[in-house]
């Protein structure tokens, strides 16, 4: 009985896994197909050759390399700055004693409930007032801090015994030294989670770039892809090649780091 039960569980998981995986596989394979193969009926699964011509054509029609570089620059800057500000804020809320600490933190947490879409208008006017509309700064500056990541890190910092802190202080370490030499290295699993989640969110960010970026050369990949699909509507195989370029880095990253993402969020005591 138990084996039968297990068999169906695994069967179910396999089928569901395939259903999830198939569109990606289709996208990946179609990126190599000829335009006849991609529209053939009945559908052709395996392309006749793995030529990179579709990638080349897509890259000629739209500056995907530029989009890619923009995406990478935005992601790295945003992740770097957000991580640092989150670490500092988490340390302050976890370890330092100052009046209003609890109240302030509760206020920040309650702000997490406001969806980003609601902030778009205010952020939009701010970006215009700052004069960074339609520049890459408009994609970076609004994403230099995060309550959610601060919260995950604070939860981890709270688990570090107080004696470690006092031991370090007695041994001559300042708060700053203690934070970077002891706390941060110990928090590596949680930090990895924060960095990965942040990188994913930044990479996939679509709506915000759509609002604040007009110039072609300032677009990031998802926004550029959207424009490209409308413009190159007649060439699905080139769209698939472009989509592969957008999605693949994150899939690879996720495959390598998924145990950190799951583990870190669980450790942080919160569902993503």
Partner 1 sequence: MRVRLDHVTKRFGSFTAVEDFNATLEDGELVCLLGPSGCGKSTLLNMLSGILPLTEGKIWFDKDDVTKVPPEKRGVGLVFQNYALYPHLTVQDNICFPLETQRVPKKDRIEQAQEIAKLVHVDMLMHRRPGELSGGQQQRVAIARALIKNPRLLLLDEPLSNLDARLRLEMREEIRRIQQRTKVTAVFVTHDQEEALAISDRIILMKNGITQQNDLPQALYDNPANQFVASFLGNPPINYIPGRMQDGAFLADGAAEPIRMPIFHGVPDGKKVVLAVRSEAFTTEENGPIPAEVSRVYTMGKEEMAWLQIGDIEFRAYIDNEEGLVPGKQIRLNVRRRGVFVFDPESGERLA
Residues at the site binding partner 1, with contacts judged by CB under 8 A:
161, 163-164, 166-174, 177, 181-182, 185-186, 188
Nearest Cα residue to 252 out of 13, 47, 24: 24
- State the nearest-atom distance from the C-beta of 266 to partner 1, in Å: 19
Q: Which is nearer to partner 1, 145 or 175 (CB)?
A: 175
Q: Which is nearer to partner 1, 20 or 170 (CB)?
A: 170
- State the nearest-atom distance from the C-beta of 161 to partner 1, in Å: 6
Q: Which two tokens stand for residue 188?
A: 């590596």
Whether the link from the prior residue into 253 is cis, omega within 30° of 0, is no
Q: Which is nearer to partner 1, 147 or 184 (CB)?
A: 184
How far are the Cα atoms of 89, 122, 164, 198, 215 from residue 191, in angstroms, in the given order? Answer: 14, 30, 19, 10, 34
How far are the Cα atoms of 69, 121, 167, 198, 201 from residue 139, in angstroms, in the given order? Answer: 13, 15, 42, 14, 12
- State the nearest-atom distance from the C-beta of 139 to partner 1, in Å: 35
Answer whether 257's CB lies under 8 Å from 192's CB. yes
- State the nearest-atom distance from the C-beta of 254 to partner 1, in Å: 26
- State the nearest-atom distance from the C-beta of 162 to partner 1, in Å: 9
Q: What proportions of the chain, in percent to the nearest 5, are helix, strand and coil? A: 75, 0, 25
- State the nearest-atom distance from the C-beta of 165 to partner 1, in Å: 9
Q: Which is nearer to partner 1, 131 or 172 (CB)?
A: 172
Residue 27's CB: how many other CB atoms inside 10 A? Answer: 19
Q: Where are the alpha helices (DSSP H) in 43-144?
A: 53-61, 64-94, 101-111, 116-130, 137-140
């Amino acid at each position: 009985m138990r084996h039968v039960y297990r068999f169906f569980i695994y069967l179910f998981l396999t089928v569901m896994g395939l259903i999830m995986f198939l569109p990606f596989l289709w996208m990946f394979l179609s990126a190599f197909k000829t335009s006849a193969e991609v529209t053939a009926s009945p559908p052709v699964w395996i392309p006749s050759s793995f030529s990179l011509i579709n990638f080349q054509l897509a890259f000629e029609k739209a500056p995907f390399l530029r989009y890619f570089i923009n995406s990478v620059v935005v992601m790295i800057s945003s992740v770097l700055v957000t991580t640092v500000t989150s670490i500092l804020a988490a340390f302050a809320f976890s370890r330092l004693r100052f009046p209003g600490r609890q109240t302030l933190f509760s206020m920040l947490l309650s702000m997490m409930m406001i969806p980003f879409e609601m902030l778009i208008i205010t952020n939009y006017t701010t970006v215009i007032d700052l004069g960074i509309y339609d520049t890459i700064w408009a994609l970076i500056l609004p994403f230099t801090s995060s309550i959610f990541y601060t919260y995950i890190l604070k939860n981890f910092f709270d688990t570090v015994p107080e004696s470690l802190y006092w031991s370090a202080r007695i041994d001559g370490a300042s708060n700053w030294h203690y934070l970077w030499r002891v706390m941060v290295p110990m928090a590596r699993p949680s930090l990895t989670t924060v960095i990965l989640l942040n990188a994913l969110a930044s990479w996939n960010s679509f709506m915000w770039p759509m609002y604040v970026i007009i110039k072609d050369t300032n677009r990031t990949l998802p926004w550029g892809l959207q424009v490209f699909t409308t413009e190159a509507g007649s060439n699905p195989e080139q769209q698939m090649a472009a989509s592969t370029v957008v999605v693949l880095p994150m899939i690879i990253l996720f495959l390598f780091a998924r145990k950190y993402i799951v583990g870190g969020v669980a450790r942080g005591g919160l569902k993503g």
